[in-house]
Structure 1
Amino acid sequence: MDYIEYIDRDSGERRKEIVPGEGWLKWLYHNPLGKLVLHGVVKRKIISQWYGNKMDAPSSKGKIPGFVKDLNINMNEATRPIDDYTSFNDFFIRELKPEARPVAPEPKAIVSPADGKILAFEGISGLDSFFVKGQQFSLDSFLQNCMLSKKYEYGTLLIIRLAPADYHRFHFPADGNITASTLINGDFFSVSPYAVRERLSVYWENKREYSLLKTPVAGDILLCEVGATMVGSIEQSYSPDCDVKKGQEKGWFKFGGSTVIMLLEKGMASIDPDILQNTENGFETSIKVGRRIAEACN
């Protein structure tokens, strides 16, 4: 893969993604020597913790202006000006003005829980359209819970990838009641397409947390936040076993690229056709928090 292309949802045009450290990622995941470094050092928790701590230090705030400029980040959406942040991580988990992410109001609309690029697979099969052929998404490995694996065995898989330039807070995709978060420890591989196209198992090898959103319109939606290389931590800001509203904040990722995975029960929702078609053609689709991605069938 020479570079990452995706479909801009608003225009329908194919665009090239700006990837910080692109050459480094290609070397790590596609060069024999790079793979030795990846498995010996980079995937380990201590490396991501060390870098996360650096991004919490006051001295890291000097990185903010260049990052904003290089990645064309719209600071007009943020609640605070660029010089108000105390560290890079303080900026990285920035809050946005409510009007910057309007939430689809229709009762049956299921919305994106995060900014990023989305893939959708109905039946948790047919992943050959994006990933290297022959790979299957192992629910048993991913959830480590045989009852939940059975529940979503024939359901729909949604993968929302957050790049470093994206807004890194995640939200609820529908109204409902949310359970406590279950932590599964793991490694810290990159979730960039450079890594996952050939290694789907990254999603069940990495550290992750999942919870169940029990909704009146779309059954039980499983929400899973997946860590990645240089992600300092996954922070949950919600109160478990409480009613929540569509678009309400659930938590945030500290520095790095990350992923939110959603599992929908079979027959409970219809994914928007453009997202399905782009996925079938081998492309992710750009998405924002609050934008409709599916319609509940109830």
Structure 2
Amino acid sequence: MEIQFINRATKELITERPPGEDLLRFLYGNPVGEALVLPIAKRKFISDWYGKKMDSPSSVSRIEPFVSSLNIDMSESEKQIDEFTSFNDFFYRKLKPGARKIEEGLVSPGDGKLLVFEKASEVNSFFVKGERFTLEQFLEDEKLAEQYKDAAMAILRLAPNDYHRYHFPYPGIPSPCHEIGKDYYSVSPISLERKFTKVFTKNKREICRLKTAGKGEMLIIPVGATMVGSLNSTFTPESPVKKGEEMGYFAFGGSTIVLLFDSAKFTFDKDLIENTRNHFETAVRMGEKIASE
């Protein structure tokens, strides 16, 4: 399986080569890797251990090769390579003020590859591997799942080379985050293609309810992944936030942010719907419009 996505600006089809691709194929596509190694790799202590390694001062030596091999644009970063104190300090780097334009409508909460579904139930027609995905499994809350059963759903996948801070996609008043899940499956397309239901119903995640003016309530759900030791919120609950204001950051590894909202209040952009229906993710940037009001 080739990992391909659409460059939204140029409409080009791009082939992605994720770091550790061969290992991921072994873990998620090989019976030996899946049976013997994956049960260990997904556990929290592995991500915590690796996270501590990436916090050590000696990890700065990994930054320059990582930037070079993945062609990361450092011109947007507040700090430059020689100013970081650890690999994680680089990994969840901040952008320079004004580096991103916050557009009209509902915007992307981060940089990454996006899938959009006008109804959350459509996810099962995209990831077809026998086991059905349900909101009740994902949210671990029967009443909340019933409330959002007809909601629109956006899934933003952050690759290791992406900017790893995430932001509010719309203004409102956020609730405290409710933490659920405990595992750390990879969120690479290699694992999603084979283990989608497990990734989104077992991985550690936080549910934040954003109350908006006139658009109802929206759920913002950061999802951890292999080698992401923690989800780190940086906002103040129950205090108003602006669109584009920082919400939190992920430590080392790939990650995901899921949005659920009233499909009658926002309409996804047509190119995003079309790309998803054609089984392609779309590359978007934080602050870029993904749905109209």
Q: Same fold (TM over 0.5)?
A: yes
CA distance in 1 between partners of 2:17 and 2:97 (Å)? 26
CA-based RMSD of the aligned residues comes to 1.2
Deviation at 1:127, TM superposition (A): 2.6
Task: Kindly indicate whether residue 150 of structure 2 is the aligned counterpart of residue 160 of structure 1.
Answer: no
Q: 1:135 Cα deviation (Å)? A: 4.6
User: Secondary structure at 1:230's aligned position in 2?
Assistant: coil
Establish whether residue 180 from structure 1 lines up as the match of residue 176 from structure 2.
yes
Which runs of 5 or more structure 1 residues have no equivalent in the other structure?
none
Give the unaligned 5+ runs of structure 2.
none
1:166 counterpart SS class: coil
Match of 2:226 among 229, 244, 252: 229
What SS class does the counterpart of residue 75 from structure 2 fall into?
A: helix
Say yes or no: does 1:140 pair with 2:139: no
Matched, 1:257 2:290: no
Give the Å deviation of 1:128.
4.8
Quick one: distance in 2 between partners of 1:181 and 1:38? 31
- More displaced, 154-163 or 140-149? 140-149
Contact 1:8 1:286 (8 Å CA) reproduced: yes
Quote the offset at 1:185 in angstroms: 3.0
Query: How far apart, CA to CA, are the structure 1 residues paired with 2:263 and 2:132?
Result: 18
> Structure 2 CA distance, aligned partners of 1:203 and 1:128?
13
Give the conservation status (yes or no) of the 8 Å contact 2:181–2:201: no
Give the structure 1 partner of residue 89 of structure 2: 90
State the partner residue of 1:293.
290
Amino acid in the other structure paired with 2:278: N
Q: Which runs of 4+ in 1 moved over 4 A?
A: none
Matched-pair contact (CA < 8 Å) for 1:52–1:230: yes
Shift of 1:218: 2.4
**TM-score normalised according to structure 2 size:** 0.97
The separation in 2 between residues aligned to 1:44 and 1:133, in whole angstroms, is 23
* Distance apart, 1:264 and its partner CA: 1.0
Alignment of 1:186-201 (within 5 A): 186-201=182-197
Aligned residue type for 1:94: R
Change (3 A) 1:38 1:279: farther
Q: Deviations over 1:208-267 (max 9, x none)?
A: 001111111421110001000000110000000010000000000000000000001231
Residue 27 of structure 1 is matched in structure 2 by 26
2:269 is the counterpart of 1:282: no
More displaced 10-residue stretch of structure 1: 182-191 or 127-136: 127-136
CA contact (8 A) 2:121 2:134 kept: no
| AA at the equivalent of 1:140 | E
CA contact (8 A) 1:171 1:249 kept: yes
Which amino acid is 1:173 matched to? P
Q: Does the CA contact (< 8 Å) of 2:233 and 2:247 recur in 1?
A: yes
Q: Do the aligned partners of 1:124 and 1:137 also contact (CA within 8 Å) in 2? A: no
How far apart are the structure 2 equivalents of 1:187 and 1:19? 21
Relative to the length of structure 1, the TM-score reads 0.95
Total equivalences in the alignment: 292
Q: Specify the alignment match of 1:208 in structure 2.
A: 205
Paired with 1:176 and 1:61, the residues of 2 have a C-alpha distance of: 38
Deviation, 1:200, is 1.8
Shift of 1:142: 1.0
The DSSP-based 3-state class of the residue aligned with 2:121 is coil
Q: Secondary structure at the match of 1:200?
A: helix
